[in-house]
Amino acid sequence: MAAGPTWILATAALTIIAGPLALGFAGFISARTRNAAPTATTPSWRLTAASTLLYILAFNLTFFIQELFLVLPKALTPGLRPTLYHNNHRWEGTNPLAALFQGTGALATLAVGLFCLWLLQRPQQRSGGARLLLFWMAYCGCFMALPQVVIGALSQGSDVGMAMGYLQLGADARVGAGLLALGLMPLVALRLRQPALAIADSPAFIASPGTRTRFVFRAVTLPALFASALVIPFRIPREWLEVIVVPLLVVLPGIPWIQAGAWRTRGAAANSAATAWPLAYLFTAVVALLLFFQLVLRPGLRFY
């Protein structure tokens, strides 16, 4: 194996596995040196359910944005006739710009993610539901895009890899882009810790390293794991590798860092005035989006 891919794979192992494990272990040691918090400070399972439903919405909306912005530039390019589907897009015709436009989807989702992260940092009163939705849109936007840069550095046939090929990036530039994306992943994830803790509607939920760790597990980590399975109906029919791997690639680079670093976050304030959206409304929105994906997008929307 060439040195470049080896560097990327080694850095990925450090970023995705070793780093969160080390940070989480430090948190475990820190929590053991303090008095255990009472179990009454554990948030309700209703928050877990709401967060799961909002992750499903955010993931699929972000994926839709990605595919839409893969299609729109091609629709405006002479010689290309693109079609948008619920889990992919295709095009007929030829134009050299098609390869470049394979990178516009990741660029769009990253822009949406960073914009939502910026909104979360602003001192503005929002409902608990709005905070959760912005949090998951920020997360999915960033972590649906950054892994694609890493994959693009390794595979010239991937979406971002094709864009890199059009830009005539050499092997060193590809490796540099992949390493940069890997370096940004923990920074973005750790930046999302405070917005995650701000979801709490009681200061007691995030008063100590132990309570902060438990709160993030209930409000962020479990919902992401549950939702990764529940997004499957939005993605079928397609090759099972594509159906399963994409949701995992969004979860694995970021959620472990948020969970592992929750204990170390200081200065986060609970949004005590927050009001959550009713679960029935969230469930209805998820079902409506699923119907839109399967009944409208699955047959294909032509952009020509």
In a domain, 8, yes or no: yes
CA gap 70, 107 in Å, rounded: 10
Is residue 165 a contact partner of residue 156, using CB atoms and an 8 Å limit? yes
Comparing CA positions, the residue from 137, 106, 144, 142 lying closest to residue 120 is 137
In a domain, 111, yes or no: yes
Tokens found for residue 92? 């007929």
Q: What is the mean pLDDT of residues 186-214?
A: 91
In a domain, 85, yes or no: no
**pLDDT of amino acid 202:** 84
Q: What is the pLDDT of residues 87-122, one digit of tens each?
A: 999 999 999 999 999 999 999 999 999 999 999 988
**pLDDT of amino acid 37:** 46
| Per-residue pLDDT band at 41 (split at 50, 70, 90) | low
In a domain, 134, yes or no: yes
Domain limits at 136? Answer: 3-15+94-290
CA 62 to chain centre: 8
The count of structural domains within the chain is 1
Query: Three-state SS for 256?
Result: helix
Angle CA 289–294–295, to nearest 5: 95
In a domain, 207, yes or no: yes
**pLDDT of amino acid 184:** 98
In a domain, 223, yes or no: yes
CA gap 12, 281 in Å, rounded: 39
In a domain, 189, yes or no: yes
Q: What is the pLDDT of residues 161-183, one digit of tens each?
A: 999 999 999 999 999 999 999 99
What backbone phi and psi angles, to 5 degrees, belong to 79? 90, -5
In a domain, 62, yes or no: no
